[in-house]
């Protein structure tokens, strides 16, 4: 224990087990050792401890790191409150009473906050790299399907034809926004609270800037009370995980639909599907279903921490121990979901012929026909009404757009001529698009090229 001299009795074993965070804050091992090394260097710099004492502490911390990494030392949950007390206790075993000098001018409150900020900075960059890789997977696939026609949907009803590449690029845009949010989190976490003590700073002349610079922080916190109790950056990180998982869940839903027999648009690799214990023919998209399902867990983690924070008075409260499990779980879930999404997309097969015939004469060309009428001088609302009558006629006659002849169209409205028939040819639908941000093949090619250059 790092405390206890004023207590008559030891902490009850059940209470220790209940309050211990070692099982999850062991994730902060590397950060905690690094923070302690830099703190020891600073104490020597300002002559609170000698250089020899600092060297002895750092030597002991190096040994702990070596033993932890090679597996010869692993702190047991039932013996320590957290990773910080485990490391300090081990340090006493290795170098004796000199270990007691390490905690000079430091509280676990600012130590934990510093560890956590370092971990968030590191993990946000790892997620950004994973998103970067996933974007490239999507761009590689998009480059192969610039002219692969698929129906675009609103309300899950066919709306207008697009290319599969265009659909994939929509997710590339989403992932870029996810990266921007993570960069924001990295920046808000990039402030060092070390030297804030328990809540009111220190009477020692601690060099906070030295510690911040050596830990890779760009700033130091300005208020010790806020510094030790601030978990906004964790909540921001969880929000990134929530939004990112929501994007992956939307994609997972589409992959599940596309892989069904009714759609038959993609075929998933055996490596990322499972079978049925009863039905031999089944091939289930379990990985994408799990991504969709785990999204709810990440949503719950955000609500969990927000609920913890909502009633806390300043400054530090033990409730804040509950920040780590939701954070670690969400980041791991999101990271693994990104990797598995990339594997799933890279290994699936696309049925490029699926919609070639199906979209011929499809009513999804109705807007193009209305636009043609507008170019003939018809107000759009009237054009909308006229095309609605064309659709109604086809439904009554059980026919499609591409089966209409000019005589039939002129009966509906005499303004139609032979050029209107050409509008109903699916082959030219994408090339007619003119606006930036549309699925015009030339524009899509440019977008893919731009992203490839951006993501180098």
pLDDT given for residue 383 in this prediction? 96
Checking if the pLDDT of 141 tops 80, the result is: yes
Task: Write down the catalytic residue from 5, 14, 72, 155.
Answer: 155
pLDDT tens, position by position, 115-130: 999 999 999 999 999 9
pTM: predicted TM-score of the whole model, two decimal places = 0.93
pLDDT at position 334? 98
Whole-angstrom Cα distance, residue 419 to residue 25?
A: 70
pLDDT digits over 257-295, tens only?
A: 999 999 999 999 999 999 988 988 889 999 999 999 999
Q: Which of 146, 55, 70 is nearest to 101 (CA)?
A: 55
| Mean pLDDT computed over 133-159 | 96
Q: What is the pLDDT of residue 19?
A: 67
Q: pLDDT digit string (tens) for 79-109? A: 788 999 999 999 999 999 999 999 999 999 9
Tens digits of residue pLDDT in 191-246: 999 999 999 999 999 999 999 999 999 999 999 999 999 999 999 999 999 999 99
Inter-residue contact 409 to 421 (CB < 8 Å):
yes
Above pLDDT 70, what percent of the chain? 97
What average pLDDT does the structure give for the chain?
A: 94
Give the model's pLDDT for residue 16: 66
- Based on C-alpha coordinates, what's the Rg of the chain? 31
Q: Give the H/E segment covering residue 162.
A: strand 157-163
Residue labelled with tokens 């996810």: 178
**What pLDDT is stored for residue 36 in this prediction?**
98
Instruction: For domain 13-104, give the CATH number.
Output: 1.10.275.10
Active site residue 39: no
In this predicted structure, what is the pLDDT of residue 433?
A: 93
Tell me if 288 sits within 8 A of 255, measured CB to CB. yes
pLDDT, mean of residues 153-167:
96
pLDDT over 50 (residue 3): no
CATH number for the domain formed by residue range(s) 109-203+215-350 = 1.20.200.10
Out of 23, 50, 269, 276, the active site residue is: 276
- Which CATH architecture is the domain 363-454 placed in? Orthogonal Bundle (1.10)
Rounded to whole angstroms, how far apart are CA atoms 451 and 456? Answer: 9
Domain ranges of the chain: 13-104, 109-203+215-350, 363-454
247 is catalytic: no
Asked if the model's pLDDT at residue 181 lies above 50, the reply is: yes
Give CA–CA dist 185/238, Å, rounded. Answer: 10
48 C-beta neighbours (distance < 10 Å), count: 16
Distances (CA, A) of 261 to 54, 150, 164, 167, 258: 67, 16, 19, 21, 8
82 token code pair: 């957290």
Least confident of 133-137, 329-333, 358-362: 358-362
- Bridge partner list, 161: 151
Characterize the bridge pairing of strands 191-192 and 219-220: parallel
């Amino acid at each position: 224990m790092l405390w206890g001299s004023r207590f008559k009795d030891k902490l009850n074993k059940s209470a220790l087990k209940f309050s211990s965070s070692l099982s999850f804050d062991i994730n902060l091992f590397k950060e905690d050792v690094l923070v302690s090394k830099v703190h020891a260097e600073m104490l020597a710099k300002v002559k609170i401890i000698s250089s020899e004492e600092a060297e002895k502490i750092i030597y002991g911390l190096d040994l702990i790191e070596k033993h932890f990494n090679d597996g010869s030392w692993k702190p047991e949950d039932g013996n320590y409150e957290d990773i910080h007390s485990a490391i300090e206790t081990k340090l006493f075993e290795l170098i004796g009473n000199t270990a007691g000098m390490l905690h000079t001018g430091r509280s676990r409150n600012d130590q934990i906050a510093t560890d956590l900020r370092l971990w968030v900075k590191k993990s946000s960059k790892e997620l950004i790299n994973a998103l970067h890789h996933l974007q490239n997977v999507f761009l590689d696939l998009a480059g192969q399907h610039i002219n692969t026609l698929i129906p675009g949907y609103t309300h899950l009803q066919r709306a207008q034809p697009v290319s599969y590449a265009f659909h994939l690029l929509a997710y590339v845009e989403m992932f870029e926004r996810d990266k921007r949010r993570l960069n924001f989190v990295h920046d808000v976490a990039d402030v060092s609270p070390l030297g804030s003590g328990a809540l009111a700073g220190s009477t020692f002349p601690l060099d906070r800037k030295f510690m911040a610079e050596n830990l890779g922080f760009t700033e130091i916190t300005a208020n010790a009370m806020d510094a030790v109790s601030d978990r906004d950056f964790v909540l921001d990180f969880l929000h990134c995980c929530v939004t990112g998982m929501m994007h992956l869940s939307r994609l997972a839903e589409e992959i599940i639909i596309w892989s069904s027999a009714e759609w038959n648009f993609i075929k998933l690799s055996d490596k990322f599907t499972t079978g049925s214990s009863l039905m031999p023919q089944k091939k289930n998209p379990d990985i994408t279903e799990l991504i969709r399902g785990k999204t709810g867990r990440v949503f719950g983690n955000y609500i969990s921490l927000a609920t913890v924070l909502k009633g806390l008075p300043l400054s530090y409260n033990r409730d804040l121990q509950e920040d780590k499990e939701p954070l670690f779980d969400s980041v791991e879930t999101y990271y693994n979901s990104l990797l598995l999404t990339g594997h799933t997309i890279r290994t699936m097969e696309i049925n490029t012929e699926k919609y070639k015939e199906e979209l011929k004469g499809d009513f999804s060309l109705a807007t193009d026909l209305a636009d043609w009428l507008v170019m003939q001088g018809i107000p759009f609302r009237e054009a909308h009404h006229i095309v609605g009558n064309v659709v109604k006629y086809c439904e009554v006659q059980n026919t499609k757009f591409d089966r209409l002849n000019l005589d039939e169209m002129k009966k509906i409205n005499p303004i139609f001529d032979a050029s209107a028939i050409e509008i109903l040819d699916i082959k030219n639908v994408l090339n007619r698009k003119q606006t930036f941000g549309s699925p015009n093949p030339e524009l899509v090619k440019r977008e893919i090229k731009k992203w490839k250059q951006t993501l180098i």
